[in-house]
Amino acid sequence: MNTGAGRPAAVPSPVIEVKDLAKRYGEHQALGGVSFDVGRGELFALLGPNGAGKTTLLSILCTILKPNSGTARIAGVDVLKSPLRARRNIGVVFQEPSLDDRLSVEENLKFHALAYGVPMSVSQKRIDALLELVELGEVKERLVRTLSSGMKRRLEIARALVHNSRVLFLDEPTVGLDAQSRERIWFYLRRLQELRGLTIVVTTHYIEEVERCDRVCVIDHGAVLAMGTPDELKHTIGREYLRIRPKDSAAKTEILAHYGPRGATSGEGILISDVDDAAVEDFLERFGTRIRSLDVERPSLESVFLTLTGKAPRDQEASPRERTLSFARQGGEHTR
């Protein structure tokens, strides 16, 4: 599906330029000619279900994978022709943990600085400032294995910036974290964006996190379906829908069967698109005694996602294929 919101618009001062990127794995097309720009200092979200092509796209931008065709530039540097130069401009927070838990917090950062050739005369000052920013200064001598999951993720963000990167890529940065830790991660990201003018690209399944971003790119089956600010997408694509909580699995199955492509699972509940007063009355007449609750919700990013992909966004683990193709190659940024 293509929409007006899906056509890439001119972005002033782009720091990321992607044009016609395509990637195949045998007969499987992971990306089918993706194009977009990301502006300097922008917080940009890639939103899509597992298998949509998000991780493949990030892997190409981070110089871990090579596309079959197309181009990508980071801060004016071609990631295919000059991958080492491109890496000087990027930091990456992997979906899978990639810290050395045998080292201390500070030692992890010092090792990263050494790997990137950051002069010792500036590295310690930079490390101290980053630890202060992510509120880990008081635990800098602790072994990483003793940290909580949220603290480790904050350390990974600090590590990605030790070499003074201009672009930060984060692949599902808050998966597995509790609500409080997730909130703190986003606090730090916004702070980095404001203090450093950092360009941030994040993939996520969490709709409430996408609401925080400057622009959103919805991707599925290797294609860009829509792009715009959260408000633009809600205004142009979002629809009202019913959110239903059935009494049991039998009712859930029957409701989904009745509504066909208009219905989708959402956690333990169901979403039904294209609703009006008559649709609500019809639903209550058919299934009113078989549900626990029913709400009519106004256009949202969740309804945008459902309209474009035919699916409801779900918090789910990455598939084995995604993990194989992605940043499960921990430390891949140092292999070339």
From 228, 262, 297, the end of a domain falls on: 228
4 within some domain: no
Indicate which CATH number applies to the domain containing 167: 3.40.50.300
pLDDT band (50, 70, 90) for residue 322: very low
Same domain for 287 and 224: no
Tokens of 306: 């459902």
Same domain for 129 and 83: yes
The pLDDT value given to residue 9: 55
This prediction has a pTM of: 0.80
Largest CA distance in the chain: 73
Rounded to an integer, what distance in angstroms lies between the CA atom of residue 229 and that of residue 104? Answer: 40
Same domain for 95 and 214: yes
pLDDT band (50, 70, 90) for residue 260: confident
pLDDT band (50, 70, 90) for residue 325: very low
Element holding 186 (H helix, E strand): helix 179-196
179 within some domain: yes
The pLDDT value given to residue 163: 94
Indicate which CATH number applies to the domain containing 303: 3.30.70
Rounded to an integer, what distance in angstroms lies between the CA atom of residue 62 and that of residue 56? Answer: 10
pLDDT band (50, 70, 90) for residue 240: confident
From 204, 228, 252, the end of a domain falls on: 228
Q: What is the pLDDT of residues 59-98, one digit of tens each?
A: 999 999 999 999 999 999 999 999 999 999 999 998 888 8
295 within some domain: yes
Q: Is the pLDDT of residue 4 over 50?
A: no
Q: Is the pLDDT of residue 333 over 60?
A: no
Same domain for 282 and 144: no
Q: What is the pLDDT of residues 289-309, one digit of tens each?
A: 999 999 888 888 888 888 888
Same domain for 219 and 260: no
pLDDT band (50, 70, 90) for residue 313: low
End-to-end C-alpha distance for the chain, whole angstroms: 37
Rounded to an integer, what distance in angstroms lies between the CA atom of residue 296 and that of residue 288? Answer: 14
Mean pLDDT, range 3-21, rounded to an integer:
72
Rounded to an integer, what distance in angstroms lies between the CA atom of residue 200 and that of residue 196? Answer: 11
Identify the domain containing residue 182 by its residue range.
16-228
Same domain for 201 and 245: no
From 196, 228, 260, the end of a domain falls on: 228
Same domain for 215 and 83: yes
170 within some domain: yes
Question: Which position has the higher pLDDT, 208 or 40?
Answer: 40
Same domain for 195 and 102: yes
317 within some domain: no
Domain count, the chain: 2
55 within some domain: yes
